Amino acid sequence: MARAVQLSALGLGTTSPNPVVGCVVLDAAGAVAGEGWHRRAGGPHAEVEALAAAGGRARGGTAVVTLEPCRHTGRTGPCTQALLRAGVARVVHAVADPDPVAGGGAAVLAAAGVDVEGGLLAEEAAEVNAAWLHAVRTGRPLVTWKVAATLDGRSAAADGTSRWITSQEARADVHALRSRADAVVVGVGTVLADDPALTARTDPPPARQPLRVVLDARGRTPAGARVRDGAAPTLVLTAADVGAGPGGRGVDLAAALGVLHARGVRSVLLEGGPTLAGAFVDADLVDRVVAYLAPALLGQGPAALATTATGSTIAAARRLRVREVVAVGPDVRITAAPLRA
Ligand code: AOF
Ligand code: ZN
């Protein structure tokens, strides 16, 4: 299953609005016979890819898959039938499929005499598939706020200079984050201040560029801004498009996320400045934080986050749970998720 989870991650960035799924088929003796993962929406499901790789060796074997096999005919046929046709004796899945139409494959397989077990490495598999699972539950994409700051939590110097706080390695890592996201979101303030390209510049280049989204209440994105250069698709959302935010400030963030969801976006990388990030935090719309911390001290300059509603007293602090801590070049990357009831 650990290998299936790894395989599923290969689909990040290219499967939305579908899930990422990985599958390993073992032969009757327990040896790996085939591997597969879901590559793109509408393409073969992971189970079908792995069964094709395994061929006749699947008979009497085990399919290990990160998501409960589907039982529906959608853009492709039901994986339950493909598994039965291949003569698989046992199916082990990590996470149940919450989709009311596709879900329930485990029961179908069990009724057909297959030995079925669920829940293996469920947490790990769910984390890789977090965006899709979150979107099924909420109707909104999963929002990851990316922040770069010094050890004392400053994202720019007092004179406004902010290039570069973190290392080349950390910046390369951000491009990898972008390549796995369906959309990259900034506010118009960032466009006006930094004129970012917001493309994923990885080596090799990503299979597709994320949608660039500018939240721009009053339509101030310049015609010559880099986000309009055609290097990737771009969406400018104004208050006329999605409604205004609380107190008439900015755009309605939940509505903007709803619009993105309707366009098939399941994961959003929020790269805006402290004000936009603060508005997302205040609206409880940040689902992951990826913080790159540089071993530097500034002592002055803007804080990485500017909230209006959160944290005026220690009891109001938003508490998160650390999911991962990794060294990236000379910097540290911390991934955390909010603790919600
Ligand atoms: C996938 N890939 O490997 C598995 C999926 O859009 P369809 O018709 O291909 O069906 C998508 C649904 O099938 C998806 O939402 C999920 O519930 C189930 N399993 N989907 O795209 C896969 N195993
Ligand atoms: Zn399927």
CB-based contact 232:211 (threshold 8 Å): yes
CATH number at residue 41: 3.40.140.10
CATH number at residue 237: 3.40.430.10
Q: Are residues 161 and 108 in the same domain?
A: no
Pocket test for ligand 1, best of 10, 18, 132 (most atoms within 8 A of CB): 18
Cα separations in angstroms, 133 against 18, 280, 308: 10, 20, 30
- In this structure, which amino acid lies at residue 197? A
User: 277 CB less than 6 Å from ligand 1?
Assistant: no
Q: Are residues 79 and 9 in the same domain?
A: yes
Pairwise CA distance, residues 278 & 255, whole Å: 17
**Distance between Cα 65 and ligand 1 center (Å):** 12
Q: Are residues 96 and 172 in the same domain?
A: no
Known active-site residue 35: no
Cα Dmax for the chain = 69
Q: Are residues 66 and 176 in the same domain?
A: no
> Which of 106, 132, 158 represents a domain boundary (last residue)?
132
Instruction: Give the structural domain span for 99.
Output: 2-132
- In this structure, which amino acid lies at residue 263? R
Quick one: pLDDT at residue 157? 81
Quick one: pLDDT at residue 156? 84
In total, how many domains does the chain have?
A: 2
> Which of 97, 132, 167 represents a domain boundary (last residue)?
132
Residue 86 has which token pair?
A: 């291949």
Q: Are residues 174 and 263 in the same domain?
A: yes
Q: Are residues 226 and 110 in the same domain?
A: no
> Which of 103, 132, 161 represents a domain boundary (last residue)?
132
Whole-model pTM? Answer: 0.94
**Distance between Cα 207 and ligand 1 center (Å):** 20
Q: Are residues 186 and 319 in the same domain?
A: yes
Q: Are residues 50 and 152 in the same domain?
A: no
Run means of pLDDT, 10 residues per run, the chain, 341 residues: 98 96 98 98 97 98 98 94 98 96 96 98 97 97 97 87 88 97 97 95 95 98 97 97 94 98 98 94 96 96 87 86 97 95 61
- Of the candidates 88, 130, 127, the one whose C-alpha atom is nearest the C-alpha of residue 109 is 88
How would you classify residue 124: left for phi > 0, otherwise alpha for psi between -120 and 50, otherwise beta?
alpha
